[in-house]
Amino acid sequence: MPSLLSSFEFIRDRRRILRMAHAKPSAKAIYHAWLQLRRHPKANRAKPLSIELGDTVIHAQNWEELSFLFEEVFIGNEYLVKLPRRDPFIVDCGANIGCATLYFKLHYPDARILAFEPNPFCFEVLKQNVAANSLKNVSLVQAACASAPGTTTFHVNPSFSPLSSAVGNRDPKHTTVPIEVRLVKLSDSIHEDVDLLKLDIEGGEWEVFADLVASGKLARIHRMAIEYHHRFGTTEVKMSRFLKVLEDAGYTYSLGVGIKPERRFMGVFQDVMIYAVKLGMEDKAG
């Protein structure tokens, strides 16, 4: 028998989803996909699964990963962006299993997308999601973006891939599996203006920016949705330097920070969303 609290939370979340603005393919479709996740048997939550989002199918390695990614991408609209053309060029660094890629294609069906993912287990599911949904103009690269080509040790979190990283283990509760992955320079793949760069690479954003600045390719990127990993793997505080790179390159930005009240003065690790846009390209109020 569900508790009164769980019933209240269900009604609250249902109302929140069904009232979503900018929902693609629709708020109703997102609600039904969310229901599939809620009703998925607990005994099977460590196994691969698939859900339907309208006509889109999403495959995943396990329930916990998909629940997290679905909430972040499709319900939280973390990558909602107003782009000026119907066929934008989007670069997805840290594509994981492809939820953001699917999100971009739902909002911009004619988008051209270049997606990078180094984790071989995620990359297989990413390919599966692209193929299952017959996505056109989507190019996939099995590699991590860095400041120089080569290889590196990548720390795979077997139970929760979004915490896998080349920088180190983000989750001390779980043992990571070290594997060798290929490194590429993002700048080598930028030959035209980029309408949106989505960057979520678990601490590797400094490496990518070093390449983009050195190559001059940062100037070709119009908008960025960056998950900045503040104090990941270091006690050094250097976020202001990262923001200064954006400011010096002619960007303005908004920050999204979620932190529990009891942790506000601890000086701890944080995920910080940075939404950057070139000056003169800002969205107009309407």
pLDDT of 78-135, one tens digit each?
999 999 999 999 999 999 999 999 999 999 999 999 999 999 999 999 999 999 999 9
Query: Which pLDDT score, from 0 to 100, does residue 1 have?
Result: 44
User: pLDDT in tens for each of the 286 residues of the chain?
Assistant: 456 558 888 899 999 999 998 999 999 999 999 999 999 999 999 999 999 999 999 999 999 999 999 999 999 999 999 999 999 999 999 999 999 999 999 999 999 999 999 999 999 999 999 999 999 999 999 999 999 999 999 988 888 888 787 776 666 677 788 999 999 999 999 999 999 999 999 888 999 999 999 999 999 999 999 999 887 766 678 899 999 999 999 999 999 888 788 888 887 778 899 999 999 999 987 5
Pick the closest to residue 251 from 226, 282, 214 (CA basis). Answer: 282
Query: Which pLDDT score, from 0 to 100, does residue 170 have?
Result: 66
Pick the closest to residue 81 from 115, 117, 106, 116 (CA basis). Answer: 106
Q: Residue 250 has which token pair? A: 């002619």
Number of H helices, E strands in the chain: 7, 12
CB-CB contact of 51 with 58 (8 Å): yes
Query: Which pLDDT score, from 0 to 100, does residue 156 have?
Result: 87
* CA atoms of 231 and 239, how far apart (whole Å): 8
**Boundaries of every domain in the chain:** 1-69, 79-278
CATH no. of 79-278:
3.40.50.150
Query: Which pLDDT score, from 0 to 100, does residue 166 have?
Result: 76
pTM over 0.85: yes
Instruction: Indicate the SS3 state at residue 197.
Output: strand
CB-CB contact of 49 with 62 (8 Å): yes
R_g over Cα of the chain: 19
Pick the closest to residue 96 from 223, 198, 242 (CA basis). Answer: 198
